[in-house]
Amino acid sequence: MMSMNIVCLDGYTLNPGDIGWEPFESMGTLTVHDRTEAGQIVDRAAGFEYALTNKTPFSAETLDKLPDLKYIGVLATGYNIVDIKAAADRGIVVTNIPIYGTDTVAQHATAMMLEMTRGVAVHNQAVQAGEWSKCEDWCFALQPIRELTGKTLGLVGIGRIGLAFARIAAAMGMKLIAYDLYWPDAQKLGDLEVEQVELDDLFAQSDVITLHCPLTPENTAMVNAQRLAMMKKTSVIINTSRGPLIDNQALADALSAGTIAGAALDVLDVEPPPADNPLLSAPNCVITPHISWYAAEARKRLMGTAATNLQAFLDGKPVNVVN
């Protein structure tokens, strides 16, 4: 068997050194670049038939300069960084990773919900700063502490991740309502009791809103000033899905005005965010740097699926093809 050469153009976020590249190294010679700038893509991918990318883009112009390329494995679920039509026109197969992070994303959303309602981090910081030591009383609270039992969780999107989060919330005694264009069947819902509602009703009724839907032209900036104004003043919104689902300025304004109680975001519309993103300085806004997917277990699953995708292509039976 001829030795095959594989290039990964931006491997650092998937594997900063803690999980290894064995699934690909067992298949051939693997060249890994931590990051690749736009001007380096053609030089680094030239001569390779098999390329892996996470966020390094393959435009039609780039593909024109890579005549040897047969396969692009996207190391993520979203594949908009590849011009898939141009790839198809050139006979290049593009695959993605449809399922790998269901539980880790749902658990991160849970952590964010608990942070918004319990204030673990802000109280730890206060204790570390000496505020408890100087306190006249044996306890103190810097924000309202809320119990989730009996509260309403509104899920915008109730696919795999939404359902996983719903099960966690149900175990906490929360009431579940949801909006989805593609409602899951009874088998997927199992014994979960979820009320199907319209989107505006979800915003009005929920104590916690969580976004678990793909980004489409229709739902870009769906969280806008009008919908934020429908929310309870005590409610919070969580986004572990896609940043552009939220109008940044509208959310920052709502937080500043006290229209809603808080927001917890793992994604923003531009990543890394520019320093002038209004949410970076908005009150009662917790932001993590797109790490809901980042558990080592989930990254190992992603790596394994990516290698399986490539092996299936080599066997003439490609899977998870997006073009």
Task: Indicate if 290 belongs to the active site.
Answer: yes
Question: Cα dihedral angle (184, 113, 223, 142), rounded to 10 degrees?
Answer: 160
Residues 6 or more apart whose CB falls under 8 angstroms from that of 221 comprise 244, 245, 246, 247, 250
Distance of alpha carbon 94 from alpha carbon 87, whole angstroms: 7
CB 224: neighbour CB atoms within 10 A? 15
Q: Which two tokens stand for residue 185?
A: 């069947």
Task: Indicate if 271 belongs to the active site.
Answer: yes
Task: Indicate if 35 belongs to the active site.
Answer: no
Distance of alpha carbon 225 from alpha carbon 69, whole angstroms: 46
Choosing from 108, 242, 299, 301, the catalytic residue is 242
Catalytic site positions: 242, 271, 290
